Chains A and B, each alone.
Chain A
C-alpha cells in the first residue's frame, strides 16, 4: 500500500477520508500469481476460449478459441466434418451445440492455423450475434468440447507474447492491460463472493482444506503420534458429502443467483456532501430521501439507469463517518463494501466547506490508493462565493494526477451537463473492457473448476484403501481447483490447520 502523507484540511481531506474509510476491510486476494493462480497462463497445452469483444449493446460478438483443440471445436460446432475451411477466410455457417446438435446461431467463422494467428497457436473465431443468450449458449457449447476450458485473465495476450507475436512496444502496455483484466475480474468475483454463491464456495473450500489437512496430518504424523484412526473415517464422510453436493450443484440448471449486471457506479463521500441529491438528479426522480440532517441515508439505495445506451447500476451509500449508532454503523459498512465492488466511484465532496489546498502530494493518493476509477464531484457550487471559486479553480489546475474533477450544484444544476458527459465517457470506456460484467464467462469458469474438483474427489475414493498418497493427491487437486474460484491455498495454510487440530510432538 502506498504511504499516506499527512493531510491538511479541506476538500482533500474529505476526499482522502472517503478513500480511507472505504478501505477499511483488508483487500481480498482472489487472483494471485502463485502456483495455482497464474500459471495457467504459462501452461499452453490446453485450448482456451473467451468472449473477446466488449460488453454492452453490440450487434456482433466475437468468441475466440486458441490452442491445439481449436480445430476440434470448429469441426463439431460449425459442421466441418470432412475438411477444415481455407485459412483466414470468413464463412457463414450454422453454429451448433455439439451435444444436442441444436442450432445456436448463424454467424461467421474464421480458421487461423498456427503459426499465423494472434496467439501463434491454432485459433478459431466465431462472429455471432451480440445478444447475451446467444453468447452464453455458444460459450457453454464450447465448454462441452473435450480439451477446451475458459481462458484465465490475460491468457490470450500472454500466449501471443510467448509465441513472439507481440513486439516490444506492444508488450510495454501488456502488463497494464492484464492488470486491468485481473482487476475487473477481482471486482466481479467480489460481487459474487459476497453473495450466497460465494458463501457456498467458501464453505466448500473450508471443508476441503480441513479434509486435506487431516489427510496430510495422517500421512506426515500418525505413525508415532497420537492421531486417532477416526480422523480418516471423518474425512471419508466429508469427501463423499462434498462430492455429492458439488455434483448436485453442477446438475442444477437453475441460475443460483441472478447476477447484477451493468456498470456498478457507487456514490460515496462524507455525510451531508449531497450524495443523495446527486442520485436523485441522475435518475431524475426522488429515489432517495434528501434532508439537511447528516446521516439521512443509512442503507444502500440502488437504481438502474440507462446512460446513453449503457446499463448502469447506481448506488447511493451512507455518508462515511465513525458513528456510535448501530444502524448507521452497519450502513457505513455496507457503503465500504459497495465501494470495494464498484467499477466507478463518484467521490462527492462539499466544495464550500473549506478549500485550503494541502501539500499536493496527497491528491494523487485519492485515485492511486483506490486503484480504481473514480470521479471527484465538488458539490454545492451555488454556495461558493465567486472569489473562492476562482481560488479553487487555480488550485485545482496546480495539481497534477487528479482524477477527473467536476464542480457542480445539485441545487442549481450548474455544471451538471459537463459532469454527465464525463460520466458517460467513463462508462463507455468501462463497457469496452471485454471482461466487464460478463457473467457467462465467469460462470463457465466456475463450472469447469467445479467439475475438476468433483473428479478429483472421486480419485480420493478410488485410492483411499490402497494408496493414501494418491488419495491425498485427489484432495490436493480438488483444493487447487476450488482455489481457483475462492483464492489460493498454500502448504502453510494446511500445516496451520494441522497444528491447530492435533497435538503433534516427537
Chain B
C-alpha cells in the first residue's frame, strides 16, 4: 500500500505543474482510492505526526494543511468514498461565508479550488452593496466536488487515508514543560483494537459525536443518514477521561425532490452571473463554461404548508425538543411557527449536472415522510412532486469551544485539536476554515514548532476562532459580515494580500505552496506600483477636467488632485484613467477592479489602522494558560478572578472583550504580563549567556594543550 501512496505523490507533482491553469481533467485516481487504504493492519506501530479523524470539510482541510506544513499525516474516516461529501446544501460561499472561502484559498486550502471545479451556477451576492460585503457563491455538483477533494488528497505527499471507526483517544501524562493535564498519543480503532500513535490528533467528527437522527417519531443513533453511528467510545474519552464540558445542538436537512416530478414553469427562474467569478486567487476562470451553468428556481410557501406543520406537530419529535438549533437556518416548522401567516421563500437548487434531484432550500423538516410529501405538495410547482430521500433532523454533542486555545488546541490536552461542528459551528465554510487552521497547528505542534494564531483584525478566520474560544456558543455559530469589526479592511478581494504571505514563510504557518506565494507577491508588488503611479499623477482640477471631460469635478474643492483621489469618485473607473494616461497606467489593467476598490476603501482602512494596531498589541500579550487566577498576586476582585478562571483568555486582547472585566483588571493584567515577559526575557538572556559561556569553555578546553 505504501508504494501506491508514493505513486500518488509523484502524480501530484505532475498535477501541480499543471495547476496554473484549471485542470481540465481530474485524474483517474479516485477509482484507485478504495483499494489504497482499506488495510490498516500495518499502520499499527507506525508513528504519525498528525492523525485527522473525519473526512468532511474540516477533516479534509485539516489533513491537507497538516501535510502541506510537512507532517506525516493519516486521515481516518468511516467511508473513504464519502470524503468530501456535501451532506446538506449543494452550495458554497455566500455573504460572510464567501469571505471564509477566499481566506481558506489564500492559505492554500482546498475548498476554493474545489468550488471552482465543481461549481455549476456562480453568482456574487450583494453586488450592489459594496465590495467589502460581496458574497461569492456557487451551486455545486456534488459528485464533482467529492471527486476533486478526493483526488487532491490522494495526490498530497505525506498524506495517507484509511477507513475505520475511532473507538478511543489514547492519552498519557502531560509534558511537564507545557501547560495541560494530559497529552494525546494516538487513537485506537474499533474492531481489531488497532492502536495508531501520533503526536497530534485533530478531531473533526461533525454531527457524529453522540449523534441521533430524527424523522417523525422515530429516533436512531447516527450523524448522517446512510452512515453508521460513530462509536460511543470517543465521546466517553472526551467527557470522562479528559473532563471536557459538552453541550447539545441540533440541525436538519430538507427532503431531496425528484426533479422530473416538479413543474419548474410555476417557479421563478433565477439565472447565474453571466461571467462566473472563480473563488480561488489561482484561477482566472471556472471549470464550468458560462453558458453551461444551470439556473435555480424560486418559489414560496402557501397557507397549506402552515396547516400541515400545525396538524403534524404531535408526530414531530425533533421540533418538540428544546435543544438549540440555528436561528438563521430554521426548519420550515420553526419558520411558520415563529412567523405565522407569511409566505416563506423556497429555493429549488440543482444538485449537479447529471443529477435527477433538486434541493429545496428552506424546507428543512423532520416530520414523518408521508407528511413531508403532503407538505411539499402544498407548494404549487411541487403539486405532483416525489420525494427521493426524506428530510431529517440531527442532534449532536459539541465541545464547549471556550476550552480551546486560539490555535484550536484543547487547552487541557497537549496535542489534541478540534475543528468544525464539534466546536459548535454550522456550515461548510466555517468547518473548512477551522479545519485548515487546526490542521496547520496540529502539524506545527507535532513538528515542535510553536502554534500560531490569526487575529480578528486581519481575517474572518480570526474573527470566527476568537468568537468561538473567547465567547463560546449558545446556538450553532454561523459567520456574518456584521461579526467583523474591521469589515471594510477584511474584504474578499484582498484575502491573498492579508493571508498568503503570512501562510508562506515557514516561521509563520508554512502551509502555502511556493507557486501561490510567488503569485501573491507579484500581485502585491503590482498593486503597490499602480497605487504609487496613481499618486504620482498630480494635476489641477482644470487639467483633470480636460483629461476626463465626462466626470463632474467641482473646481471649488481642491486645486490639486491625484489620480488616487480621482479614482475615489463614483463614476471614475481605472480604465478611464488608464486610457487618459496609458504610458504610466496601462500595464496595470489586469488589476483594474482591485485598484478601484483599494482606492475607495483606502481612507476608511487608514482610519481603522490605529484601532487595529491597538488590538493587535493587546493580542500579542499572551496570558499563560496555567495561571492560577485565584492566587495571582495582583489586585483583582473575586468576581473578575472567577471570570478569568472560567474562560482562561489566551491573550490580554481576549480578556478585555470579556463581559465583566473592568478597566482596572485589564491594567493589572497588563502589568502582570509586562513583568512576567520581562522576567522570561532576562531568563532567556541568562540561558543564552550560559550557553555561550559553555561553548567558550568547550572551545577553550579544546584549545588547551594536552
Contact = CB atoms under 8 A, between A and B. Distances in A.
A216 interface: yes
A473 interface: yes
A461 to B, nearest CB: 14
Most buried by A among B125, B133, B339, B665: B133
B667 A178 contact: yes
Interface string B425-452: 0000000000000000000000000000
Interface string A34-46: 1101110111010
Interface string B657-680: 111011111111011000100000
A429 interface: no
Interface string A475-500: 00000000000000001001100010
B663 A33 contact: yes
Interface stretch (B7-15, B190-198, B475-483, B692-700): B475-483
B664 A34 contact: no
A479 to B, nearest CB: 12
Contact of A503 (B342, B483, B617, B637): B342
A240 interface: no
B657 A34 contact: yes
B482 A506 contact: no
A373 B433 CA distance: 51
B86 interface: no
Interface in A52-100: none
Interface stretch (B279-287, B325-333, B415-423): B325-333
A257 interface: no
Interface string A349-366: 000000000000000000
Interface stretch (A218-226, A299-307, A413-421): A218-226
Nearest to A220: B480
Interface string B217-256: 0000000000000000000000000000000000000000
B96 A220 contact: yes
Interface in B625-659: 634-639, 656-659
A289 interface: no
A232 to B, nearest CB: 10
Interface size class of B (residues with CB under 8 A): 35 or more
A175 interface: yes
A192 to B, nearest CB: 20
B538 interface: no
A322 B208 CA distance: 53
B636 A175 contact: yes
Most buried by A among B330, B344, B485, B663: B663
Contacts of A499: 327-328
Given A33-B656, A505-B330, A469 B133 contact: yes
B611 A467 contact: no
B329 A176 contact: no
B135 interface: yes
B328 A219 contact: no
B344 A470 contact: no
Contacts of B362: 505-506
A506 B361 contact: yes
Given A33-B656, A33-B665, A506 B328 contact: yes
A220 B667 contact: no
Contacts of B670: 161
B132 interface: yes
Contact of B604 (A45, A182, A470): A470
A153 interface: yes
B119 interface: no
A499 B488 CA distance: 24
A470 B656 contact: no
A41 B663 contact: yes
Interface in B549-604: 570, 600-601, 604
B663 A38 contact: yes
A219 B129 contact: yes
B310 interface: no
A219 B133 contact: yes
A34 B662 CA distance: 9
Interface in B120-146: 125-126, 128-133, 135
A43 B611 CA distance: 7
Nearest to B671: A171
A468 B129 contact: yes
A197 interface: no
Given A224-B125, A469-B487, A499-B327, A176 B617 contact: no
A314 to B, nearest CB: 30
A504 interface: yes
Interface in A197-218: 216, 218
A447 B329 CA distance: 42
A94 B399 CA distance: 66
B329 A495 contact: no
12 contacts: A34-B657, A39-B611, A43-B611, A43-B614, A154-B663, A178-B664, A216-B481, A223-B126, A223-B135, A226-B345, A469-B133, A503-B335
Given A33-B656, A182-B664, 5 more contacts: A42-B617, A223-B125, A224-B125, A471-B130, A505-B330
- For the complex of A and B, the 8 pairs showing the least CB-CB separation, nearest first, are A467-B130, A469-B130, A469-B132, A468-B129, A503-B339, A179-B664, A216-B482, A175-B635
Interface of A: 1-2, 31-35, 37-39, 41-43, 45, 153-154, 158, 161, 168, 171-179, 182, 216, 218-221, 223-226, 463, 466-473, 491, 494-495, 499, 503-506
Interface of B: 95-96, 125-126, 128-133, 135, 327-330, 335, 338-339, 342, 344-345, 347, 361-362, 480-483, 485, 487-488, 570, 600-601, 604, 610-611, 614-615, 617-618, 634-639, 656-659, 661-668, 670-671, 675
